Amino acid sequence: MEKPLIIPFFIPHAGCPFTCVYCNQWKISRKEEEIKPEEIDQYVEEYLKKARLWPGRFVEIAFYGGSFTALPPEKQVGLLQAAAAQKKKGRIKGIRLSTRPDYLDEEILARLLSYGVTTVELGVQSLVDEVLAKACRGHDVADTARALSLLRKYPLQVGYQLMLGLPGDSSSFARLTGKKTVEARPDFVRIYPALVLQGTTLAQWYREGSYTPWSLQQAVQLAAYWLGVFSFYQIPVIRMGLQAVDNLSPEKDLVAGPYHPAFGELVESRLMLEQMCVGLGELQARAGDPLTVFFHPRVYSQVVGQKKENLCFLREKYNLAKINLMPKEGVQGNDLEMRTTLQVVRIKRQDFLERYRIR
């Protein structure tokens, strides 16, 4: 999937008939006011002046932060008309929006398509009814299935937004959500850890002691599992973790939870660590052996890990005397070549991902 250039417009909590226990879109997006249709033209013009563009790059406007299709129809039309005008001017090629699974029907989709919407992201969060109920989502797994079935009737890209660590969630439930996502085959996925933000029900529950957020380690581990599963089934993961913003800190709006400004990098590094462990298992390295790892330069940070934690883990677990890192252009993608004094093993990423096949 070619990475599009997304021009984001936030409509914090607009249209949503529910307040989920974790939700405070004003804090996440840092936007207190809704975007006005008449502001879109100038914003797009200024955004494109600073953007990295190349011939053929897919540029799109995106409406995030609320449930777009739950907005009053006249508001939807105003925003869609402004976005469609940008398409007519040739500035963008697509229109993307996020919404709830239970606010889609034939009439709504006819409206979206008439203005050139190309992508719909569903706020799925979990595919376990028990978790959805505890999060006060107001919809169930069946609503998501119905929404997907309806969207598949039209030439639309469909994405799932998934969340780890909601009240009632567990490793087994996360794995079940991963399995059901694979069965649904969305065109792409976003992965977020549940955070405790100021002004939310979750913050109240946390202070009362009735909710314990996942640790960063647990969230990274399960997100890495999802990344492995979705990668094996060729479902692109287009984002992991919230965008790093100033207010997401313990001194400001973040109360608790597995937030890290480079959450996605941590997840990629964790998956790479597991791949290296598989390689060392095949090498059957002897205590004190030096290890040499060849990899594409692009994945250097994933091999090393945050604060070199991957290297520290390998040295300790396998009692390695030394780890030599050898970036090499000839190594493909996320493949690895690992050598000890007597042996060589090549671990192709796709072969490694076989362990994430759902059985």
3-class SS string, 101-136: CCCCCHHHHHHHHHCCEEEEEEEEECCCHHHHHHCC
For residues 305-310, average pLDDT: 96
DSSP code per residue over 270-322: HHHHHHHHHHHHHHTPPTT-EEEEEE-GGGHHHHH-GGGHHHHHHHHHHT-SE
- Is it the case that residue 13 has pLDDT exceeding 60? no
Judged by average pLDDT, the poorest of 85-89, 106-110, 340-344 is 340-344
- pLDDT band per the 50, 70, 90 thresholds, residue 246: low
Which of the two residues, 284 and 64, has the higher pLDDT score?
64
Domain boundaries defined on the chain: 5-261, 282-346
CB 225 within 8 A of CB 170: no
For residues 79-105, average pLDDT: 96
Average pLDDT of the residues of the chain = 92
Residue 29's pLDDT is what? 43
Residue 18's pLDDT is what? 60
CA–CA separation, 27 and 338 (whole Å): 45
Q: CA-based angle 353:355:356, to the nearest 5?
A: 70
Q: Any idea which fold 5-261 has?
A: TIM Barrel (3.20.20)
CA–CA separation, 350 and 353 (whole Å): 5
* Percent of residues, the chain, with pLDDT higher than 90: 78
Residue 301's pLDDT is what? 97
DSSP code per residue over 158-177: EEEEEEES-TT--HHHHHHH
pLDDT digits 0-9 by tens, 171-180: 999 999 999 9
Q: Are strands 336-339 and 290-295 parallel, antiparallel or unpaired?
A: antiparallel
CA–CA separation, 135 and 21 (whole Å): 5
pTM of the model: 0.92
Residue 27's pLDDT is what? 46
